Amino acid sequence: MSDKGRAAELLPRDALSAGLDPLDAGSLVEVANEVNLLITATWTVAARTGSFEPSVREILQEAGVSTKAFYRHFRSKDDLLLVALDTASLQLADYVEGKMAVVDAPEPRIRVWIEGFVRQAIVPSAARRTLPWTLGMGQLAHTYPDQFDHSKAVVIAPLEREITRAVAHGTAASANPARDARIIFGYTMDAIRRHLIRGTEPDQSDIEQLVDFTYRALGISATA
């Protein structure tokens, strides 16, 4: 992907709604680099403090970015949080898609999706970054339901696709793959949240339990 393409992924879906002034923004890559500094700082401060509500002052100090620069890109801290959530969702989806790409059949790809998702609670650096978002999801979802659903849909999309493929192959049963994918996402997210809050790491038995539940719910053979 080109630098311009990567830069575009870091920007808000609606640049104007996030306060980005296209007349003063400069080059897309330069803007994206500044936005990326703010996103990275938000994750760092949130992980360090264990809070989903890091202050703008703390974020700016961590990023080394001025207040003027912040408000050139975002109208509020909530706008930054939404973009940070979008970016995290894209990164997680890319990671899972990369793992799924080496497997051909949809049934084992569903397993790989679960394993990849749960990995966020296994890798310490990822877990530290994920914990504040996990604890604060309810608040963000309540305040910005449409934006939150969009970010969640990015992560769910690979799972829904493979459920749909398995149904088409006759190896799974689902009257509504989109609905079932969301249920599986919620069940897996709850397992991750439990470990993050307790500071524990899921083992292989935890993953097998999630896979077993999913396969039984979809009528997939355990040997798939």
Domains of the chain: 3-75 (no CATH), 82-218 (1.10.357)
Token digits for 220? 């997939």
* CA angle (207, 170, 100) in 5-degree steps: 40
pLDDT surpassing 50 at residue 122 = yes
pLDDT value of position 16: 37
| Single-letter amino acid, residue 217 | A
Least confident of 105-114, 126-135, 208-217: 126-135
- Side-chain half-sphere of 224: how many Cα atoms within 13 Å? 24
Rg (CA), the chain: 19
Distance CA 68, CA 91 (A): 28
CB atoms within 10 A of CB 176: 11
DSSP string, the chain: --HHHHHHHHS-SSTTTTT--TTTS--HHHHHHHHHHHHHHHHHHHHHHT-S---HHHHHHHHT--HHHHHHH-SSHHHHHHHHHHHHHHHHHHHHHHHHTT--SHHHHHHHHHHHHHGGGTSHHHHHHHHHHHHHHHHHHHH-HHHHHHHHHHHHHHHHHHHHHHHHHTS---S-HHHHHHHHHHHHHHHHHHHHHHT----HHHHHHHHHHHHHHHT--TT-
Give the pLDDT band of residue 111 (cuts 50, 70, 90): very high
Token digits for 142? 């309540």
Distance CA 88, CA 127 (A): 12
pLDDT in tens, 45-57: 888 887 777 889 9
pLDDT in tens, 175-212: 999 999 999 999 998 888 888 778 788 889 999 999 99
pLDDT surpassing 50 at residue 115 = yes
Least confident of 107-111, 141-145, 157-161, 185-189: 141-145
